[in-house]
Amino acid sequence: MLVHKEPSENVSPATVAGAWSDNTVRVTGEVGYIYLNPTTASTQYDFSLTGPDGEKAFNRKNITGEYICYDKILVKGIYTMAISNATANEAFTVKMLAKE
């Protein structure tokens, strides 16, 4: 199940003041794939996935350029994906897949 994919036909997520966030669809299962790719390969940033009760389900700091993660993350509900501390204000490709 594709939980979240940006850019869609109408939306191209971009960091503003080094930050961006969006909510996933409601999902119960296991996230097994996170893909992040800024426009510029040298862009550094942090990424987090925060659960409905405010708990950090996933948190990576000091990522540079493209990032692919296959960690298994159990999820239930609507989660907030956030890019922060980006060194450039630019478009990102963001994908997250889950198995229900």
What contacts 93, CB < 8 A, 6 or more positions away? 6, 7, 35, 36, 37
Are 95 and 2 contacting, i.e. CB atoms less than 8 angstroms apart?
A: yes
Q: Which domains does the chain have, with CATH numbers?
A: 2-99 (2.60.120.680)
Q: What's the predicted TM-score (pTM) here? A: 0.88
Question: What does the pLDDT look like over 49-78, one tens digit per residue?
Answer: 999 999 999 999 999 999 999 999 999 999
CA distance linking residue 99 with residue 33, whole number of Å: 10
Task: Label residue 25 by pLDDT band (50, 70, 90).
Answer: confident
Question: What does the pLDDT look like over 26-53, one tens digit per residue?
Answer: 889 999 999 999 999 999 999 999 999 9
The predicted structure's pLDDT at residue 12: 60
